Structure 1
Amino acid sequence: MSARTTSSISPDESGSPQVGPELSTSSEAKVYSLADPLLTGQPSALLYQEPASTHIPAIPFAPPIVVQKKTGKRPSSPGHQGEAILQKGDYIFIKQNYQFVRIYLSDVIYVEADDKYSTVVTSGRKFVLRLPLSTLLERLTGLTLIRVHRSFAVNLAWVESFSDYQVQVQGQAVPLGRTYRTSFFEHFHNC
Protein backbone atom coordinates (compact mmCIF):
# COMPACT_ATOMS: atom_id res chain seq x y z
CA MET A 1 0.00 0.00 0.00
CA SER A 2 1.50 3.30 -0.98
CA ALA A 3 1.56 6.30 1.32
CA ARG A 4 -1.01 9.03 0.96
CA THR A 5 -0.04 12.64 0.52
CA THR A 6 -2.03 15.50 1.98
CA SER A 7 -2.14 19.13 1.06
CA SER A 8 -4.65 21.94 1.39
CA ILE A 9 -6.15 23.43 -1.70
CA SER A 10 -6.36 27.20 -1.84
CA PRO A 11 -9.50 29.05 -2.86
CA ASP A 12 -9.85 30.48 -6.35
CA GLU A 13 -10.18 34.20 -7.16
CA SER A 14 -13.87 34.26 -6.19
CA GLY A 15 -13.07 33.05 -2.68
CA SER A 16 -14.95 29.75 -2.94
CA PRO A 17 -13.17 26.56 -1.96
CA GLN A 18 -12.00 24.27 -4.74
CA VAL A 19 -11.74 20.52 -4.70
CA GLY A 20 -8.13 19.56 -4.89
CA PRO A 21 -6.46 16.84 -6.89
CA GLU A 22 -6.48 13.24 -5.76
CA LEU A 23 -4.33 12.71 -2.74
CA SER A 24 -3.82 8.97 -3.21
CA THR A 25 -3.22 6.41 -5.94
CA SER A 26 -6.05 4.92 -8.01
CA SER A 27 -5.91 1.49 -6.33
CA GLU A 28 -6.70 3.02 -2.95
CA ALA A 29 -9.38 5.23 -1.56
CA LYS A 30 -9.29 8.80 -2.81
CA VAL A 31 -9.06 11.66 -0.33
CA TYR A 32 -9.78 15.24 -1.36
CA SER A 33 -9.21 18.35 0.74
CA LEU A 34 -11.23 21.56 0.71
CA ALA A 35 -9.64 24.80 1.83
CA ASP A 36 -11.73 27.37 3.66
CA PRO A 37 -11.28 30.92 2.28
CA LEU A 38 -11.51 32.41 5.80
CA LEU A 39 -9.06 30.02 7.44
CA THR A 40 -6.30 29.95 4.86
CA GLY A 41 -4.38 26.75 4.87
CA GLN A 42 -6.84 24.93 7.14
CA PRO A 43 -8.89 22.19 5.48
CA SER A 44 -12.60 22.71 6.11
CA ALA A 45 -13.52 19.23 4.94
CA LEU A 46 -11.95 16.05 3.75
CA LEU A 47 -13.80 14.10 1.12
CA TYR A 48 -13.28 10.36 1.04
CA GLN A 49 -14.14 8.17 -1.95
CA GLU A 50 -13.99 4.38 -1.89
CA PRO A 51 -11.98 2.70 -4.62
CA ALA A 52 -14.10 1.38 -7.49
CA SER A 53 -13.30 -2.25 -6.67
CA THR A 54 -15.05 -2.04 -3.27
CA HIS A 55 -18.35 -0.67 -4.62
CA ILE A 56 -21.24 -3.10 -4.55
CA PRO A 57 -23.19 -2.95 -7.82
CA ALA A 58 -26.73 -1.69 -7.42
CA ILE A 59 -29.58 -4.14 -7.82
CA PRO A 60 -32.17 -2.81 -10.24
CA PHE A 61 -35.38 -2.24 -8.30
CA ALA A 62 -38.55 -0.38 -9.17
CA PRO A 63 -40.31 0.90 -6.06
CA PRO A 64 -44.04 0.03 -5.88
CA ILE A 65 -45.08 3.65 -6.46
CA VAL A 66 -43.25 3.66 -9.83
CA VAL A 67 -44.96 0.42 -10.86
CA GLN A 68 -48.31 1.89 -9.87
CA LYS A 69 -47.79 5.04 -11.95
CA LYS A 70 -46.69 3.16 -15.07
CA THR A 71 -49.25 0.35 -15.04
CA GLY A 72 -52.10 2.01 -13.17
CA LYS A 73 -52.30 -0.99 -10.82
CA ARG A 74 -50.89 -1.46 -7.37
CA PRO A 75 -48.47 -4.35 -7.04
CA SER A 76 -50.13 -7.12 -5.10
CA SER A 77 -48.46 -8.88 -2.26
CA PRO A 78 -48.84 -12.64 -2.58
CA GLY A 79 -51.71 -14.01 -0.54
CA HIS A 80 -52.61 -10.67 1.05
CA GLN A 81 -56.26 -10.68 0.07
CA GLY A 82 -56.56 -14.46 0.28
CA GLU A 83 -55.51 -14.43 3.92
CA ALA A 84 -58.07 -11.82 5.01
CA ILE A 85 -60.97 -14.29 5.05
CA LEU A 86 -61.06 -18.08 5.26
CA GLN A 87 -64.17 -20.27 5.11
CA LYS A 88 -64.61 -23.61 6.86
CA GLY A 89 -68.05 -25.19 6.77
CA ASP A 90 -70.67 -23.00 8.41
CA TYR A 91 -68.24 -20.40 9.74
CA ILE A 92 -65.56 -18.07 8.43
CA PHE A 93 -62.36 -16.71 9.89
CA ILE A 94 -61.75 -12.99 9.42
CA LYS A 95 -58.31 -11.55 10.06
CA GLN A 96 -58.42 -8.76 12.63
CA ASN A 97 -55.38 -7.31 14.42
CA TYR A 98 -53.00 -10.08 13.29
CA GLN A 99 -55.29 -12.90 14.39
CA PHE A 100 -58.18 -14.80 12.84
CA VAL A 101 -61.59 -14.44 14.49
CA ARG A 102 -64.30 -17.08 13.95
CA ILE A 103 -67.68 -15.83 12.76
CA TYR A 104 -70.63 -18.11 12.14
CA LEU A 105 -72.24 -17.44 8.77
CA SER A 106 -75.64 -17.27 10.42
CA ASP A 107 -74.42 -14.32 12.55
CA VAL A 108 -73.63 -12.12 9.52
CA ILE A 109 -76.44 -9.56 9.22
CA TYR A 110 -75.19 -7.51 6.28
CA VAL A 111 -72.03 -6.33 4.55
CA GLU A 112 -71.36 -2.71 3.67
CA ALA A 113 -68.83 -1.69 1.02
CA ASP A 114 -66.65 1.39 1.04
CA ASP A 115 -64.42 1.43 -2.05
CA LYS A 116 -61.84 -1.35 -1.53
CA TYR A 117 -63.02 -2.13 1.99
CA SER A 118 -65.97 -4.14 3.25
CA THR A 119 -67.49 -4.02 6.72
CA VAL A 120 -69.03 -7.30 7.87
CA VAL A 121 -71.73 -6.52 10.45
CA THR A 122 -72.70 -9.32 12.84
CA SER A 123 -75.10 -9.38 15.76
CA GLY A 124 -72.37 -8.24 18.14
CA ARG A 125 -69.43 -6.75 16.20
CA LYS A 126 -68.21 -5.12 13.00
CA PHE A 127 -65.21 -6.39 11.05
CA VAL A 128 -63.43 -4.32 8.39
CA LEU A 129 -61.78 -6.21 5.54
CA ARG A 130 -59.58 -4.92 2.78
CA LEU A 131 -61.65 -6.63 0.12
CA PRO A 132 -64.18 -5.15 -2.29
CA LEU A 133 -67.75 -6.35 -1.77
CA SER A 134 -67.84 -8.23 -5.09
CA THR A 135 -64.70 -10.22 -4.19
CA LEU A 136 -66.06 -10.99 -0.73
CA LEU A 137 -69.35 -12.29 -2.15
CA GLU A 138 -67.49 -14.50 -4.63
CA ARG A 139 -65.45 -16.09 -1.85
CA LEU A 140 -68.33 -16.80 0.51
CA THR A 141 -70.25 -19.92 -0.45
CA GLY A 142 -73.30 -21.30 1.28
CA LEU A 143 -74.26 -17.93 2.72
CA THR A 144 -77.54 -16.35 1.72
CA LEU A 145 -75.99 -12.92 1.24
CA ILE A 146 -77.86 -11.11 -1.52
CA ARG A 147 -76.58 -7.91 -3.05
CA VAL A 148 -79.25 -5.23 -2.73
CA HIS A 149 -77.25 -2.12 -3.56
CA ARG A 150 -73.82 -1.32 -4.99
CA SER A 151 -72.65 -0.81 -1.41
CA PHE A 152 -74.72 -3.39 0.49
CA ALA A 153 -75.43 -7.11 0.66
CA VAL A 154 -77.88 -8.52 3.22
CA ASN A 155 -78.35 -11.95 4.77
CA LEU A 156 -81.88 -13.08 3.84
CA ALA A 157 -82.26 -14.79 7.23
CA TRP A 158 -82.06 -11.38 8.97
CA VAL A 159 -84.52 -9.47 6.74
CA GLU A 160 -87.37 -8.08 8.86
CA SER A 161 -89.20 -6.11 6.18
CA PHE A 162 -88.65 -4.50 2.79
CA SER A 163 -90.21 -2.07 0.35
CA ASP A 164 -89.40 -1.02 -3.19
CA TYR A 165 -86.58 1.20 -1.97
CA GLN A 166 -85.13 -0.27 1.23
CA VAL A 167 -84.60 -3.44 3.23
CA GLN A 168 -84.90 -3.51 7.02
CA VAL A 169 -82.37 -5.82 8.71
CA GLN A 170 -81.99 -5.91 12.50
CA GLY A 171 -83.31 -2.35 12.83
CA GLN A 172 -80.98 -1.03 10.13
CA ALA A 173 -82.45 0.43 6.92
CA VAL A 174 -80.40 -0.65 3.91
CA PRO A 175 -81.11 0.94 0.51
CA LEU A 176 -82.46 -1.30 -2.25
CA GLY A 177 -81.01 -0.26 -5.61
CA ARG A 178 -82.93 -0.40 -8.90
CA THR A 179 -80.33 -2.70 -10.44
CA TYR A 180 -80.68 -5.31 -7.69
CA ARG A 181 -84.41 -4.95 -6.95
CA THR A 182 -85.65 -7.66 -9.36
CA SER A 183 -83.13 -10.30 -8.25
CA PHE A 184 -83.92 -9.52 -4.60
CA PHE A 185 -87.69 -9.95 -5.12
CA GLU A 186 -87.13 -13.25 -6.99
CA HIS A 187 -85.88 -14.82 -3.76
CA PHE A 188 -89.35 -14.37 -2.26
CA HIS A 189 -91.58 -15.42 -5.19
CA ASN A 190 -91.36 -19.19 -4.70
CA CYS A 191 -92.04 -19.34 -0.98
Structure 2
Amino acid sequence: MKHPILAYGHSILKQKCENIEPNFPNLSVLIDEMWETMRNANGCGLAAPQTGISKRLFIVDSKTTFEQLDKQNRKIYFDNDDKGIIETFINATIIKRSNDFWEDEEGCLSIPGLFQTVKRSWEITIQYVNKNFEPQTKTFSGTTARMIQHEYDHTEGILFLDYLKPLTKKLIESKLKKIVKGKVQTRYAMKFV
Protein backbone atom coordinates (compact mmCIF):
# COMPACT_ATOMS: atom_id res chain seq x y z
CA MET A 1 0.00 0.00 0.00
CA LYS A 2 1.34 3.41 -0.96
CA HIS A 3 1.16 6.24 1.57
CA PRO A 4 0.55 9.87 0.69
CA ILE A 5 3.68 11.93 1.33
CA LEU A 6 3.31 14.83 3.76
CA ALA A 7 3.93 18.19 2.11
CA TYR A 8 6.07 20.99 3.46
CA GLY A 9 4.15 22.79 6.21
CA HIS A 10 3.09 19.69 8.17
CA SER A 11 4.21 19.93 11.81
CA ILE A 12 5.33 16.25 11.87
CA LEU A 13 8.13 17.15 9.44
CA LYS A 14 9.62 19.47 12.08
CA GLN A 15 9.44 17.01 15.00
CA LYS A 16 12.34 15.01 16.38
CA CYS A 17 11.25 11.39 16.00
CA GLU A 18 11.12 8.62 18.61
CA ASN A 19 13.00 5.32 18.50
CA ILE A 20 11.26 2.20 17.28
CA GLU A 21 11.01 -0.76 19.66
CA PRO A 22 11.62 -4.29 18.29
CA ASN A 23 7.95 -5.17 18.99
CA PHE A 24 6.63 -2.22 16.91
CA PRO A 25 3.43 -3.58 15.30
CA ASN A 26 3.70 -4.55 11.61
CA LEU A 27 7.16 -3.00 11.21
CA SER A 28 8.03 -5.14 8.17
CA VAL A 29 4.74 -4.12 6.52
CA LEU A 30 5.49 -0.44 7.16
CA ILE A 31 8.99 -0.82 5.68
CA ASP A 32 7.61 -2.57 2.56
CA GLU A 33 4.99 0.18 2.17
CA MET A 34 7.67 2.86 2.48
CA TRP A 35 9.70 1.24 -0.32
CA GLU A 36 6.57 1.06 -2.47
CA THR A 37 5.74 4.71 -1.71
CA MET A 38 9.28 5.89 -2.46
CA ARG A 39 9.57 3.98 -5.73
CA ASN A 40 6.12 5.15 -6.85
CA ALA A 41 7.30 8.75 -6.30
CA ASN A 42 10.59 8.05 -8.14
CA GLY A 43 12.58 8.99 -5.04
CA CYS A 44 15.94 7.81 -3.72
CA GLY A 45 15.04 7.96 -0.02
CA LEU A 46 12.09 8.33 2.33
CA ALA A 47 11.74 8.84 6.07
CA ALA A 48 8.84 7.64 8.23
CA PRO A 49 7.82 11.20 9.23
CA GLN A 50 7.18 11.94 5.55
CA THR A 51 4.43 9.33 5.73
CA GLY A 52 3.03 10.80 8.97
CA ILE A 53 4.80 8.41 11.36
CA SER A 54 7.11 10.20 13.82
CA LYS A 55 9.59 7.31 14.21
CA ARG A 56 13.33 7.00 13.60
CA LEU A 57 13.08 4.99 10.39
CA PHE A 58 14.26 5.80 6.87
CA ILE A 59 15.20 4.03 3.66
CA VAL A 60 17.87 4.87 1.09
CA ASP A 61 18.47 3.65 -2.47
CA SER A 62 21.69 5.07 -3.90
CA LYS A 63 22.26 1.95 -6.01
CA THR A 64 19.74 3.05 -8.65
CA THR A 65 21.45 6.46 -8.87
CA PHE A 66 24.85 4.77 -9.26
CA GLU A 67 23.54 2.52 -12.04
CA GLN A 68 22.02 5.48 -13.91
CA LEU A 69 25.29 7.45 -14.00
CA ASP A 70 27.93 7.09 -16.70
CA LYS A 71 31.46 6.03 -15.65
CA GLN A 72 32.79 9.60 -15.53
CA ASN A 73 30.04 10.80 -13.16
CA ARG A 74 30.33 7.69 -10.99
CA LYS A 75 33.91 8.77 -10.22
CA ILE A 76 32.68 12.22 -9.17
CA TYR A 77 29.74 11.18 -6.99
CA PHE A 78 30.83 7.79 -5.62
CA ASP A 79 34.09 6.48 -4.13
CA ASN A 80 35.79 3.62 -6.01
CA ASP A 81 34.45 0.78 -3.86
CA ASP A 82 30.92 2.25 -3.54
CA LYS A 83 28.29 0.95 -5.95
CA GLY A 84 25.39 2.32 -3.93
CA ILE A 85 23.10 0.74 -1.33
CA ILE A 86 19.50 -0.30 -0.85
CA GLU A 87 19.13 -0.16 2.91
CA THR A 88 16.70 0.35 5.78
CA PHE A 89 17.91 2.42 8.74
CA ILE A 90 16.18 2.13 12.14
CA ASN A 91 17.08 4.20 15.24
CA ALA A 92 20.07 5.66 13.42
CA THR A 93 22.68 7.95 14.96
CA ILE A 94 25.43 9.59 12.95
CA ILE A 95 28.51 9.21 15.17
CA LYS A 96 31.10 10.83 12.91
CA ARG A 97 31.10 13.35 10.05
CA SER A 98 34.17 14.21 7.99
CA ASN A 99 35.39 17.78 7.71
CA ASP A 100 35.63 17.21 3.97
CA PHE A 101 32.54 19.02 2.71
CA TRP A 102 30.95 19.19 -0.73
CA GLU A 103 28.01 20.98 -2.21
CA ASP A 104 25.39 19.44 -4.46
CA GLU A 105 21.79 20.02 -5.40
CA GLU A 106 19.11 18.34 -3.29
CA GLY A 107 15.38 17.96 -3.57
CA CYS A 108 12.75 16.34 -1.37
CA LEU A 109 9.53 14.45 -2.04
CA SER A 110 7.86 16.62 0.64
CA ILE A 111 8.99 19.78 -1.17
CA PRO A 112 8.18 18.97 -4.82
CA GLY A 113 9.73 21.00 -7.62
CA LEU A 114 12.31 22.76 -5.45
CA PHE A 115 16.01 21.98 -5.72
CA GLN A 116 18.76 23.82 -3.87
CA THR A 117 22.49 23.44 -3.25
CA VAL A 118 23.30 22.00 0.18
CA LYS A 119 26.71 21.59 1.84
CA ARG A 120 27.25 18.18 3.47
CA SER A 121 30.05 15.97 4.78
CA TRP A 122 31.60 13.70 2.14
CA GLU A 123 31.88 10.83 4.65
CA ILE A 124 29.86 9.76 7.67
CA THR A 125 29.85 6.88 10.14
CA ILE A 126 26.43 5.80 11.34
CA GLN A 127 25.08 3.33 13.90
CA TYR A 128 21.65 1.81 13.32
CA VAL A 129 19.70 -1.41 13.31
CA ASN A 130 18.64 -2.91 10.01
CA LYS A 131 15.19 -4.28 9.13
CA ASN A 132 16.00 -7.47 11.08
CA PHE A 133 16.95 -5.36 14.13
CA GLU A 134 20.62 -6.35 13.79
CA PRO A 135 23.02 -3.63 15.05
CA GLN A 136 25.19 -2.03 12.37
CA THR A 137 28.04 0.49 12.36
CA LYS A 138 29.04 1.52 8.84
CA THR A 139 30.90 4.29 7.06
CA PHE A 140 29.48 5.75 3.85
CA SER A 141 30.73 8.43 1.49
CA GLY A 142 29.76 10.56 -1.49
CA THR A 143 26.22 10.46 -2.80
CA THR A 144 25.31 7.55 -0.51
CA ALA A 145 26.38 9.60 2.54
CA ARG A 146 24.49 12.64 1.21
CA MET A 147 21.26 10.65 0.84
CA ILE A 148 21.66 9.16 4.32
CA GLN A 149 22.29 12.60 5.86
CA HIS A 150 19.20 14.01 4.11
CA GLU A 151 16.92 11.22 5.36
CA TYR A 152 18.54 11.14 8.80
CA ASP A 153 17.77 14.86 9.09
CA HIS A 154 14.08 14.06 8.59
CA THR A 155 14.16 11.95 11.77
CA GLU A 156 15.72 14.96 13.55
CA GLY A 157 12.97 17.32 12.33
CA ILE A 158 15.36 19.04 9.90
CA LEU A 159 14.60 19.81 6.24
CA PHE A 160 17.24 20.63 3.63
CA LEU A 161 15.69 24.12 3.52
CA ASP A 162 17.08 24.69 7.03
CA TYR A 163 20.61 24.81 5.55
CA LEU A 164 19.82 27.59 3.09
CA LYS A 165 20.95 31.18 3.49
CA PRO A 166 18.21 33.67 4.52
CA LEU A 167 18.27 35.37 1.10
CA THR A 168 17.83 32.05 -0.72
CA LYS A 169 14.89 31.20 1.56
CA LYS A 170 13.36 34.60 0.79
CA LEU A 171 13.68 33.98 -2.96
CA ILE A 172 11.81 30.66 -2.78
CA GLU A 173 9.21 31.81 -0.24
CA SER A 174 6.38 32.11 -2.80
CA LYS A 175 7.06 28.56 -4.07
CA LEU A 176 6.96 27.22 -0.50
CA LYS A 177 3.63 28.98 0.13
CA LYS A 178 2.19 27.30 -2.98
CA ILE A 179 3.28 23.90 -1.65
CA VAL A 180 1.67 24.59 1.75
CA LYS A 181 -1.59 25.52 -0.02
CA GLY A 182 -1.46 22.39 -2.19
CA LYS A 183 -0.97 24.38 -5.40
CA VAL A 184 1.53 21.93 -6.81
CA GLN A 185 1.20 18.91 -9.07
CA THR A 186 2.99 15.62 -8.49
CA ARG A 187 2.88 12.12 -9.95
CA TYR A 188 2.36 10.77 -6.43
CA ALA A 189 -0.22 11.28 -3.69
CA MET A 190 0.49 14.05 -1.18
CA LYS A 191 -1.14 15.23 2.01
CA PHE A 192 -1.28 18.99 2.49
CA VAL A 193 -1.84 21.04 5.66
Task: Give the TM-score taking structure 1 as reference length.
Answer: 0.24
Task: Give the TM-score taking structure 2 as reference length.
Answer: 0.24
Larger relative contact order (CA 8 Å, sep ≥ 6) = 2
Larger radius of gyration: 1
Between Structure 1 and Structure 2, the one with more strand by share is 1
Between Structure 1 and Structure 2, the one with more helix by share is 2
